[in-house]
Amino acid sequence: MPIPRLSILLSSLLAALLLAAPAAAREKKNAKDETAHEFAFVGNSAAKLTGDQGEDRLKRALKETSEKSLDFVVLTGIKGDKESCGDRLYQKRRDLIEGARRPVIVSLAGSDWTGCRNSLGRTNAIERLNRLRELLYGEATSLGEDKLPVSRLSTSPRFRSYAENAHWQVGKVVYATINLPAGNNHFLPAAGRNSEYEDRMVANRFWLNRLFAIARNEKAEALVLFAEGDARPLLQEEAKGLRGLLRREPAVQDGFAETRRQIQARAGKFKGKVLLVDSGALKGKQPVIEWRGNLGQLSVGEKAVEVKVSSKDGAVFSVGDAKR
């Protein structure tokens, strides 16, 4: 090859490489974070509503989340505490949720079952809870048109009734629901009436131990727990005298104390972050994640919030302007 032609070819090649370098840098800079995902959490907005009000708000929340690119939606409660506890309403709400475009996981609320009574005025909370378990948690998937596979506590023979407790994983984050209803965790002060509470606490204790074991074995960057009960005092020390997740009077046993202590103890031995998301009251504040060490909580009240998650360099959770 003649020398002039070789010189021209090399010059052209060098120019092409110089032009490609900035483009490659821009492409790398704008590359999508493959670990990033996003979910929505809908607080128990229907608890104090009745009839069409509660259903309209549920429809609106499902419509808004369906229109957004979310990996999943966690919905707290399906009905208000003044609404019927009958099968017809339960089935209607299930069908409504099933029509959502995104995967929907229902986290039970106290208004769904704890106050239910039969025609004689006697409590039938346990029977209604079992009916909800049949309707909402019969499959190893979420509700919604786009199904998300989940694993349920009910796969353990000893706890086959507790299908509402489920876990799933997205990227390096393990997510789970745990049945902790508002109303002091359905602890009843009258003697001899707490069999449901006591049995559920045994199941929840086992469930939390399993979740932390799964998160550890999967080398997860974070474990996120969804529940209804107000988790605000979760970040406080027991010695400060705070009486449980709902700040009950000292004379009333704290129905959340055992769960709070267990989460605090397990989080202290976990290398990643532990975040509890609940429907606790906001008192006029905007939802924000508060942290103490690796233990955090997000209370949303009746609001619906979207949370962005990245675990590229350790789990990072963002709610609006709140980031950790």
β 304-310/295-299 pair status: unpaired
Q: What residue type is assigned to position 114 of the chain?
A: T
Mean pLDDT (the chain) is 84
- What does the domain layout of the chain look like in residue ranges? 33-323
Neighbours of 86 (CB within 10 A): 12
Q: Name the CA radius of gyration of the chain, rounded.
A: 24
User: What pLDDT, on the 0 to 100 scale, is given for residue 253?
Assistant: 84
Structure confidence at residue 4 (pLDDT): 52
CATH class label, 33-323? alpha beta
pLDDT the model gives residue 248: 43
Above 60 in pLDDT, residue 151? Answer: yes
What percent of the chain has pLDDT above 90? 59
- Mean pLDDT computed over 218-227: 96
Sheet with 304-310: list strands edge to edge: 104-107, 72-76, 37-42, 304-310, 316-319, 322-323
Q: Which two tokens stand for residue 136?
A: 């909402």
Helix (H) or strand (E) holding 48: none
Beta bridge partners of 316: 310
Q: What is the model's pLDDT at position 29?
A: 37
> Per-residue pLDDT tens for 172-203?
999 999 999 998 899 988 767 789 999 999 99
pTM for this entry: 0.84
Q: In the beta sheet, which residues pair with residue 177? A: 226
Nearest Cα residue to 222 out of 277, 181, 260, 259: 277
CB-CB contact of 275 with 300 (8 Å): no
